[in-house]
Amino acid sequence: MTEYARQWQVLSSDGKRTYTVSVTVDYVWSCSCIGWTRHMPRKDCKHIKEKKADGGSGSKRGPVPRSARVGFTPDGTPMEGEPAQTVQAALKAGANPEQATDAARAKREEIQAKKDKALGKMRYGFQLAEEPKLGELTIDRPIAVEVKYDGHLAMLIDGRIINRSGRDITNRFPEITKVNGPAVLLGELIIPDEQGLGDFSGGIQTRNTDDEMKIRALSQQRPAMFVAFDILEVAGEDITRLPARQRRLMLEAFYDFAGARSVGAMMQRHQLIKQEIVSTKAEVKALLERERARHGEGIMLKDLSAPYVAKRGRNWMKVKTWQDREFKVEHSENTGVGDGFVIYIKNKGREQCVNMGDHRMREHVRTHKDVTVEVKFLSEGEDGALRFPSVRRIV
């Protein structure tokens, strides 16, 4: 909850509106004039400059009474239980509409802060990988290579499972043992296929539901796996600044300890990702070809000396196993959205639409029969569904 040192009501230039100028106990200024948002408060408007210039005095209306501030009663004493943080409660406490709006905003911020803390979002974000072309890679020192699984990036934190967008999806994976306290783990949620890789379209995507009965059935029929590849916290200590090679040793130690202490299935449906250390580009290409041969999505390259940084960068790089295959065009149609146009192809009996943006290829498909196209895609599911397909050319 934001604690203000002082607040003032100031008039707009035309004298028809009032704005609230605030300064927190940490001396952070903000103003509620046009342009103010929760994430980027106005810190340089003329109202703030005027207040700073006169040392915080000269208010036309004086500071907002303490009774209107969030968490206090009209007599200025802290409220017991739930503080008055809604517009209606603030109005009853003697605030004017502007002050009541500020109180409601503060309430929303407090609620969001509690949610963020509960989900662990205040502590860690997700590190993402760049995807350079294979020809652009330069290997000048040993790096770690891992299989790139086809699933959902996830964090195990505070007994919960949080996905890349920050959503709590714990209820969707009842079969996976949660981690509460000993560590914060980062990994990939997958539904293993016959190769031990992830089945995306026919597997992990089916878990995008909150239907309890469906989740229960799916968790028994095709249980998910958490493939751990990093550790961010151990026994409450943030270790993200340590180099990747040291965090890897701590991750291995965590699973060795968990395995030794496990009773029954303490770490059920967990798997520690395998790493291979390489020093040349030829070794990277060989591992990429190995994944392509078994229809994997690709490989991850990780700098062993780098800390964990919650943003996209080249400390982590991904090289995907894009594939090309020829398909007969079954039929085509306009999508009805803009000038959208799609073709339909079949793979393993499954019909799938692929967007076609090139206007020359569109005209060829419209005017010819028995057209065959070359399609680029990342991987295919057991049901034949292609991931990220795109038309490369007319054959």
Where is pLDDT greater, at 327 or 24? 327
Where is pLDDT greater, at 68 or 203? 203
Q: Tell me the per-residue pLDDT of 234-272, one tens digit each, with 9 for 90 and over.
A: 988 999 999 999 999 999 999 888 776 654 455 789 999
Global pTM value: 0.61
The tokens describing 121, both together, are 């979002």
C-alpha–C-alpha distance, residues 236 and 172, integer Å: 26
C-alpha–C-alpha distance, residues 162 and 96, integer Å: 40
Distance between alpha carbon 336 and the CA centroid of its chain, in Å?
Answer: 32
pLDDT score for 169? 93
pLDDT score for 68? 37
Of 63, 34, 39, 38, which is closest to residue 51 (Cα–Cα)? 63
Amino acid at 303: D
Rounded mean pLDDT of 371-386?
84
Bridge-based pairing state of the strands 225-234 and 237-238: antiparallel
Q: What angle do CA 296, 297, 300 make, to 5 degrees?
A: 110
CA distances from 351 to 198, 348, 370, 372 (A): 21, 9, 16, 15
Which domains are delineated in the chain?
4-119 (no CATH), 128-320 (3.30.470.30), 323-394 (2.40.50.140)
Percent of the chain with pLDDT over 70: 80
Q: Tell me the per-residue pLDDT of 272-298, one tens digit each, with 9 for 90 and over.
A: 999 999 999 999 999 999 988 887 889
